[in-house]
Amino acid sequence: MNNVAIIPARGGSVRVPRKNVKLLYGKPLIYYTIKSALDSNIFKGIFVSTEDEEIAYISSTVGAKVINRPVELAEDVESELVIKHSVEEIEKEYPVDTVTMLQPTSPFRSANTIKRCVNELIENWDEYESVITVNDIEGDRPEWMCYVNHYNDVIPYTNTWKDPTDNNYIRLVARQDLEKLYKQNGCVYTFKKSLIMDFGMIISPYCKAIIIEEEEAFDIDTNLDFMIAEQLMGKRKC
């Protein structure tokens, strides 16, 4: 099968300017994603979709091919649109069977996890259309979340618990007494080409999960995240 990896990396960033090329432990953030994709040895091609010249230069230097992203996709648009355009460009060279989207903000993602996701899809081709990484939500329980209205009233997000008058309320039970929940973490998305091209989807209703640890799932979105990631990366290099 022709498996390809696509790394969407635009030049703009809402919270951290030039995030994808900001240095993390001496290397541009995007370097770590390209390197793990290369080390997985499972892709026919590894592509970075960008409109940015610096990102394009760094990506090609590390070992990825560059897809020039059109202006209309250079803003903060749906990932599905970017991936669909990328597949169209790749298929000018050869047909694609599976696509793996790797966000450049997950620098601790392992090559083995990438390989597991691709192999899971291939080995379960008739049952699943996509494979994604997830991790335990830990303390971010929806049962403890709430809406806050314009009066600053607390309105429980779920109806898990009700008082004698049938009002929802939040109960501070031990986390281990609640059902285990997972969240998709943006680390790896692997899916059939037909899923994105025919239906505009990345996560299918027929989707399998690969559970990973919280550190591998660590996503960088703020300057504080960069500071934490720098410490984590330093411990790994020791």
Mean pLDDT of 61-67: 98
194 vs 109: CA distance, rounded Å: 26
Q: How many CA atoms lie within 13 A of 99 on its CB side?
A: 31
Rounded to two decimals, the pTM is 0.94
Same domain, 168 and 199: no
Question: 19: Cβ–Cβ under 8 A, 6 or more apart, which residues?
Answer: 13, 29, 105, 220
Pairing of strands 130-136, 23-24: unpaired
Residue 6 reports pLDDT greater than 90: yes
Instruction: Determine the average pLDDT of the residues in 77-104.
Output: 97
Mean pLDDT for the stretch of residues 202-207: 98
Task: Give 74's pLDDT tier (boundaries 50, 70, 90).
Answer: confident
172: containing domain: 142-177
Give 190-201 pLDDT, tens digit per residue: 999 999 999 999
Helices (H), strands (E): how many in the chain? 6, 13
Domain with residue 51: its CATH number is: 3.90.550.10
Q: pLDDT band for 238, please (50, 70, 90 cuts).
A: low
pLDDT at 14: 77
Q: With 90 as the cut, is the pLDDT of residue 51 above it?
A: yes
Same domain membership, residue 210 and residue 161: no
Do 41 and 91 belong to one domain?
yes
Query: How many structural domains are present in the chain?
Result: 2
CA dihedral 52, 54, 55, 56 (to 10 degrees): 80
Quote the pLDDT of residue 67: 98
Residue in the block written with tokens 């281990």: 176
